[in-house]
Structure 1
């Protein structure tokens, strides 16, 4: 089994993120690795395809602020320093790939729902992270289908 030096845990800030965080903390401790946390806020105009003629800037700012607070709460529970917390905006899979390369991470840990069937093996974000990563990816099963 490889000895990882730098681990990037991508968390979605839901209740299910706890399982991903627990696995990341355990793996970082066992390998004496540096642990980074990342959360990506998807811009509302991407989520809705820009089809709705509304200004989402105040809502987006609220989402960003709430995400920052939540990310730092997860970091405190996991004893991860603030400088190793990364709050990004954009497409989650692309942002996770870019950050993992910038950090020279050798493992990305992401949550995945245990759905049935090949097409639903991983959630769309976990699938995107897996297929574009330049390092190992660990998909932690989360949710009710455990």
Structure 2
């Protein structure tokens, strides 16, 4: 609920309805010796906090784990490659065949679902009668 500036002045975060907020240092910046290093704003430093700041902070903390770079490198290329396939291959991800954001979103979601189902078929994964997923028996 608070933030501090480089000169160790602390101020409250005024929350918005969406979960974000703003912390303004205003008058504290007027006589601050570090003002030149901190801000060029006429009314003093203002820090905006997004609604997802908590999740971002948790992600930053997780990325300091020594094993994180290896896990990230193991996953990221696969995800990036699949997005590239959707965009550049014959799936037609770069061209919209309809007009309007809602229809384009629905079309791209359908494209992604089709690619995922094709991938499940290649991997031999099937749905069981109980609704779970399992590897097809050889």
Bucket of the pairwise TM-score, normalised by the shorter protein: under 0.3
Q: Which has the larger radius of gyration?
A: 2
TM-score by length of 1: 0.24
TM-score, structure 2 normalization: 0.25
Bigger relative CO (Cα 8 Å, ≥ 6 apart):
1
Is the strand fraction higher in 1 or 2? 1
